[in-house]
Amino acid sequence: MWKWHCLKVFLLMGITGYTQINIGIEPSTCVRIPFELTTYNNMLVPVILNNKDTVKLMFHTAADAVNLTESATMRVTLDFQRTDSVKSWGGDQNTSRFSPVNTVQLGTMVFENVPIWEDTNSGQGSDGKFGINLFEGKTITFDFEAQELLISDDLPLDITTYSKQPLIRENGYLFIEAVAAINDEVVVNKYMIHSGYAGSVLFDDVFVEKRGIADKLTVIDQKELRDSFGNVLKTQRAVLPQFRIGNILLDEVPVGFFSGALSRQKISIIGGDILKRFQMVMDTKREFIYLKSNALINDIYKGV
C-alpha cells in the first residue's frame, strides 16, 4: 500500500489554459485514475468526452495535446472548426482537424475548454491519446502493478526509497539520462520518456552513426513502425547486454535503431517495455523523476 500525504483540491485555472474541476474528492486523499496496461505496453484510460461519449485514451508521456483517431471521431460528437497542417514522427505533410472547446473527464477529474485534434492512428486498442500537460502542477505516480495513476499535490511519504534522477526538458518533452553497455564501452545518452512507444529502447541516428552501433550490435530482427498519421519507418532490432537508469540495472535489453535515412530519428527513446518495470513519480515542476523497480522488473521483453 503506497502512503500519501495529500492536500485539499480546489477549482483552478491552470497555465495550460483550460479549467480543471475535481468532483467527489475527499480531503486528504489522492485522485486515482485506473488504466489498463495492454500487451503492447500502452496505458489505456477510460475517458468521458463532453459528458456523454466514452473512449479509451492512451496516456502518452510525449504528447502535448488530446488527440482522437479518425475512427473514434466517427463515434463521438465533436465540433471541428478547422484543419491544421502538422508534423509527425515519420513525415511533415499531414493534416489534422481541430475542435477547440471540449470537456474531458478522467476518473473524478474534469477538464473544461480542452482542444482536441484528430489523428489517423494511436496505440493499439486506443481511441486516441492525452499527455502529462493535463496534470500541470501535480505530482504524477505511475503504479504499473496496480494499473493506476495517482495524482497529488505532494510526493509519496516513502520517496526516499526511490532513485532520484533529474528530468531534462527540451521542446516540451521530458528526457532522462541512462547508460548503455555496447561491447566494451559504457555510453551515457539522454532518452525521451515515451510511454506511447511500445518497445524498450530506440537510438537516435546521430548516436548510432557516432558510436558505430550497426557494426557493434548484432541485428536480430527488422520491424515497421507507424506514426500517428500512418507514415512507415523501418527499424533494426538488436540486444544491449546492459542498460542502467539511475541505480537500476537491466540485462539483455532489446534496442531499435534506423539504418539509412540519417537524421530521420533525432532523439533516443525509452518506451513502455522499460517504463512498466518501475514505480515512477514525476514531481510537480517536472524537475525530477523518482524510480524504483516493481514486480514487473524481470518480465520477458515482448519485442513489440
pLDDT of residue 227: 63
pLDDT of residue 153: 94
Mean pLDDT rounded to a whole number for the chain: 86
Task: State the average pLDDT over residues 174-188.
Answer: 93
Q: Which residues, other chains included, contact 124 with Cβ-Cβ below 8 Å and sequence gap of 6+?
A: 38, 40, 42, 198
Residue-level length of the chain: 304
What pLDDT, on a 0 to 100 scale, did the predictor assign at position 275?
98
pLDDT at 25: 41
251 pLDDT tier (thresholds 50, 70, 90): very high
The pLDDT tens digits for 255-302 are 999 865 555 688 999 999 999 999 999 999 999 999 999 999 999 998
Report the pLDDT value the prediction gives residue 12, as an integer from 0 to 100: 37
| pLDDT at 6 exceeding the cut of 60 | no
Rg (Cα) of the chain, in Å, rounded? Answer: 19
Encode pLDDT of 212-234 as tens digits: 888 888 888 887 766 656 666 77
Taking the model in full, what pTM does it have?
Answer: 0.85
Alpha-carbon distance of 51 to 64, in angstroms, equals: 22
pLDDT-above-90 percentage for the chain: 65
Q: What is the pLDDT of residues 132-164, one digit of tens each?
A: 999 999 999 999 999 999 999 999 999 999 999
Of the pLDDT bands very low, low, confident and very high (cuts 50, 70, 90), residue 22 is low
Of 207, 182, 289, 295, which Cα lies nearest the Cα of 246? Answer: 289
Find where cell 537500476 sits: 248
Q: In the prediction, which pLDDT does 268 show?
A: 96
- Determine the pLDDT at residue 61: 97
Strand 268-270 with 185-193, pairing: parallel
Amino acid at 177: E
Under the banding of pLDDT at 50, 70 and 90, the label for residue 93 is low
Distance of alpha carbon 125 from alpha carbon 56, whole angstroms:
8
* pLDDT reading at 109 higher than 90: yes
**For residue 184, what pLDDT is reported?**
84
pLDDT at 1: 33
Whether the per-residue pLDDT at 2 is higher than 50: the answer is no
Residue 160 φ then ψ, to 5°: -70, -10
175, β-bridge pairs = 168, 192
User: Is pLDDT above 70 for 67?
Assistant: yes
DSSP the chain: ------PPP--EE-TTSSEEEE-SPPTT--EEEE-EE-TTS-EEEEEEETTTEEEEEEE-TT--SEEEEHHHHTTS-----EEEEEEETTEEEEEEEEE----EEETTEEEES--EEEES--STT-SEEE-GGGGTTSEEEEETTTTEEEEESS--TTGGGSEEEE-EEETTEEEEEEEEEETTEEEEEEEEE-TT--SSEE--HHHHHHHTHHHHS---EEEEEE-TT--EEEEEEEEEEEEEETTEEEEEEEEEE--SSTTS--SEEE-HHHHTTEEEEE-TTSSEEEEEE-TTTTPPP---
Q: Quickly state the pLDDT bin for 42 (edges 50, 70, 90).
A: very high
